[in-house]
C-alpha cells in the first residue's frame, strides 16, 4: 500500500523549499556583487595570470612537439631545443598581441 504524506511532512517540505529559495536568492546576489561589471574591472592579477598561462602553455606545447620529434627522429636534444625556442617566440608574440588588444580596448573607452 502506498504511503500517504501527512500534513506535517507536507509543511516540512514546503519549509525546506522556501529555505532553498531564500538561499538561492542570497547566492545570486553574492555572485552578482563579486563578478566584474566589465573588462575594466578585471584586476591586474587576472591579467598577469592570463599572460603567464599563455606564455607557459606556448613553451610547454612547443617543447613537447620538439621532444616528440627527438623521440621519433633520434635527434636528441635539437628538437627539444628548437621547440622551446619556438615556444618562447610564440609565447612572447602572444603576450605582445594581448597587450596591444588590451591597450586598444582601453583607448576606445
Q: How far apart are alpha carbons 82 and 92 in whole angstroms?
A: 15
38 band by pLDDT with thresholds 50, 70 and 90? low
For the segment 26-32, the average pLDDT, to the nearest whole number, is 83
pLDDT tens by residue, 49-76: 999 999 999 999 999 999 999 999 999 9
**Which cell numbers hold the place of 78?**
635539437
pLDDT tens by residue, 79-89: 999 999 999 99
Task: Examine the pLDDT at 4 and tell me if it is beyond 60.
Answer: no
Q: How far apart are alpha carbons 63 and 79 in whole angstroms?
A: 8
Contact 90, 58 (CB under 8 A): yes
Q: How many helices (H) and strands (E) does the chain have?
A: 3, 0
Burial of 86 (0-12, 13-18, 19+ CB in 10 A): middle
Task: Examine the pLDDT at 42 and tell me if it is beyond 80.
Answer: no
Amino acid at each position: 500500500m502506498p504511503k500517504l504524506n501527512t500534513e506535517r511532512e507536507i509543511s516540512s517540505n514546503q519549509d525546506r523549499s522556501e529555505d532553498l529559495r531564500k538561499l538561492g536568492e542570497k547566492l545570486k546576489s553574492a555572485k552578482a556583487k563579486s563578478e566584474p561589471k566589465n573588462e575594466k574591472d578585471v584586476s591586474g592579477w587576472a591579467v598577469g595570470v592570463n599572460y603567464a598561462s599563455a606564455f607557459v602553455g606556448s613553451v610547454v606545447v612547443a617543447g613537447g612537439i620538439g621532444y616528440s620529434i627527438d623521440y621519433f627522429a633520434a635527434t636528441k636534444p635539437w628538437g627539444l631545443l628548437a621547440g622551446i625556442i619556438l615556444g618562447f617566440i610564440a609565447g612572447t608574440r602572444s603576450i605582445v598581441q594581448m597587450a596591444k588588444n588590451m591597450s586598444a580596448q582601453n583607448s576606445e573607452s
